[in-house]
């Protein structure tokens, strides 16, 4: 039985072939990709700091390091594109339907509450105001 926020067997079977293979077999064996991915998902879904990743997933620095390496190598983008292509091939993507609302598109944190800049009117603008 999977814990909350962890991949099911079916989800893992879909993701496993999309992840990079470990090339270098030197050093001590690391945690499996599945354990690493579960840790990353847990952190992402709960919104906790990396340092607060539960110890059952291993050292948080290891999880964070793998997350960064995969990010820098473009793994996340490749996984997204391959999964999207697979869903499209299976007819599960409707390209004609798109939704964007305020829950998707957020304003910048400084977008609200800015001081208004009042400029001084010159004499020709004042005359035109009548």
Return the pLDDT at 70. Answer: 93
Q: Is residue 78 part of a domain?
A: yes
Q: Is residue 101 part of a domain?
A: no
Task: Report the distance separating Cα 80 and Cα 93, nearest Å.
Answer: 13
Return the pLDDT at 5. Answer: 81
Q: Is residue 86 part of a domain?
A: yes
The encoded tokens of residue 99 equal 């939704």
The sign of the CA dihedral 72, 8, 21, 17 is negative
Return the pLDDT at 93. Answer: 86
Q: Residue 99 has what DSSP assignment? A: -
Residues whose CB is less than 8 angstroms from the CB of residue 40 and which lie 6 or more positions away in sequence, other chains included: 63, 66, 67
Q: How many CB atoms lie within 10 A of CB 91?
A: 7
Q: Is residue 42 part of a domain?
A: yes
By residue range, what is the domain housing residue 88?
31-94
Return the pLDDT at 118. Answer: 66
Which of 36, 33, 46 minimizes the C-alpha distance to 5?
Answer: 46
Q: Is residue 11 part of a domain?
A: no
Q: Is residue 25 part of a domain?
A: no
Spans in the chain with pLDDT lower than 50:
none
Q: Is residue 111 part of a domain?
A: no
Looking at the structure of the chain, the number of domains it has is 1
Q: Is residue 52 part of a domain?
A: yes
Q: Residue 95 has what DSSP assignment? A: T
Return the pLDDT at 36. Answer: 92
Task: Report the distance separating Cα 37 and Cα 35, nearest Å.
Answer: 5
Return the pLDDT at 114. Answer: 59
Return the pLDDT at 67. Answer: 95
Global pTM value: 0.66
């Amino acid at each position: 039985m999977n814990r909350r926020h962890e991949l099911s067997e079916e989800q893992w079977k879909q993701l496993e072939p999309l992840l990079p293979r470990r090339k270098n077999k030197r050093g001590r064996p690391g945690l499996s990709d599945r354990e690493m991915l579960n840790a990353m998902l847990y952190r992402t879904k709960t919104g906790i700091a990396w340092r607060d990743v539960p110890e059952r997933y291993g050292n948080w620095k290891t999880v964070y390091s793998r997350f960064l390496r995969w990010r820098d190598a473009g793994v996340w983008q490749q996984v997204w594109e391959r999964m999207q292509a697979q869903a499209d091939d299976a007819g599960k993507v409707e390209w004609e339907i798109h939704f964007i609302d305020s829950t998707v598109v957020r304003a910048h944190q400084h977008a609200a509450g800015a001081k208004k800049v009042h400029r001084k009117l010159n004499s020709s603008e004042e005359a035109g105001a009548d």
